Amino acid sequence: MPGDVLVSMDDLPLSALDTLCLGSTLALSSLFYYLYWRQRAAVRRIQNSEKLQLDGDLRRLLESSGSRELRYVALEGTVGAVSASLRSQNQPHLHVVIQRHVVTEHRLLWNSLTRNWSESERVLHESVNSVPFQLCPLGGAGDPVIVCDPLKASGLALETIHERFYAPSPGFGELLGHYLSGQKPKGLLETEEILPVGATLTGLGQLVLDTQGGAHTAAPTGRV
């Protein structure tokens, strides 16, 4: 009709809120893509990592490399303490190199919106003890490799050897207080996790030959 003005969507100005939302979306998309790319790159490195044996050829291989290091390798061996090992708190006959003791509080919280109780957990105490350890050849012949900073390694699986749940015995007054406060303690869970001497372990990372001729593991340097 005469006098009508047709306006394209491209001609409409973006408000500050639209610009903020658009910028946030682009930033999140970039972040997710970056994390996805790093994860795929890490998986590809693991799949393509060179699998080496803990034998006499390992030191010669390190010495022949110009930098006296191999950037990304896989090593499998049995766990052995470099000097004195630890003993399990709950099973003293077990010798370990890593020991993790955790006390977790379990309780129920009242949700006034959903009108039900939901479980909640809170770590009250956590202690980790460790001693230097090494990967020893599975067959017994060969040089061991020292494991550096094992607590900083990702994917380190510890064995749970102790679990004990301490349930409270509240009286009537305490039960009434729980309902009024919306919090009901269920109890405390005590666990102990260990990495025992003699366990078979596969290490992924950088392998370095030090100035004294000993080999040790390290976190890979550079980009993933």
- Each residue's pLDDT tens digit, 143-155: 888 888 888 877 7
Do 74 and 110 lie in one domain? The reply is yes
Is the model's pLDDT at 12 over the cut of 50? Answer: no
Q: What is the per-residue pLDDT for 34?
A: 47
Do 16 and 126 lie in one domain? The reply is no
Q: Read off the pLDDT band of 72 (50, 70, 90).
A: confident
Is the model's pLDDT at 6 over the cut of 50? Answer: no
Q: Read off the pLDDT band of 191 (50, 70, 90).
A: very high
Do 43 and 151 lie in one domain? The reply is no
Beta pairing class for 183-196 and 95-111:
antiparallel
* 48 three-state secondary structure: helix
Cα 133 from Cα 80, distance rounded (Å): 6
Residue 124: what are its φ and ψ, rounded to 5°?
A: -90, -30
* In a domain? residue 184: yes
* In a domain? residue 6: no
For tokens 């969507």, the residue is 9
Q: Is the dihedral of CA 189, 190, 195, 200 positive or negative?
A: negative
| Mean pLDDT score across all residues of the chain | 77
Neighbour tally for 176: CB within 10 Å? 11
**Conformational region of residue 126, where left means phi above 0, alpha means psi within -120 to 50, and beta covers everything else:** beta
Q: What is the per-residue pLDDT for 196?
A: 94
Do 171 and 201 lie in one domain? The reply is yes
Domain residues for 208? 50-218
Length of the chain: 224
Mean pLDDT of 91-103: 95
Do 95 and 129 lie in one domain? The reply is yes
Neighbour tally for 98: CB within 10 Å? 20
Mean pLDDT of 200-209: 83
* In a domain? residue 177: yes
* Structure token digits, residue 139: 């067959």
User: 122 - beta bridge partners?
Assistant: 105
* In a domain? residue 2: no
Long-range contacts of 91-94 (CB under 8 A, 24+ apart): 91/161, 91/162, 94/161, 94/194, 94/196
Do 121 and 15 lie in one domain? The reply is no
Its pTM surpasses 0.95: no
* In a domain? residue 186: yes
Do 37 and 63 lie in one domain? The reply is no
Do 163 and 213 lie in one domain? The reply is yes
Q: What is the per-residue pLDDT for 13?
A: 56
Is the model's pLDDT at 42 over the cut of 70? Answer: no
Is the model's pLDDT at 10 over the cut of 90? Answer: no
Q: Read off the pLDDT band of 224 (50, 70, 90).
A: very low
* In a domain? residue 5: no
Neighbour tally for 137: CB within 10 Å? 19
Instruction: Tell how far CA 30 is from the center of its chain.
Output: 24
Q: Read off the pLDDT band of 31 (50, 70, 90).
A: low
Cα 165 from Cα 158, distance rounded (Å): 20
What's the domain count of the chain? 2
Do 63 and 132 lie in one domain? The reply is yes
Do 136 and 150 lie in one domain? The reply is yes
Q: Read off the pLDDT band of 9 (50, 70, 90).
A: very low
Is the model's pLDDT at 24 over the cut of 70? Answer: no
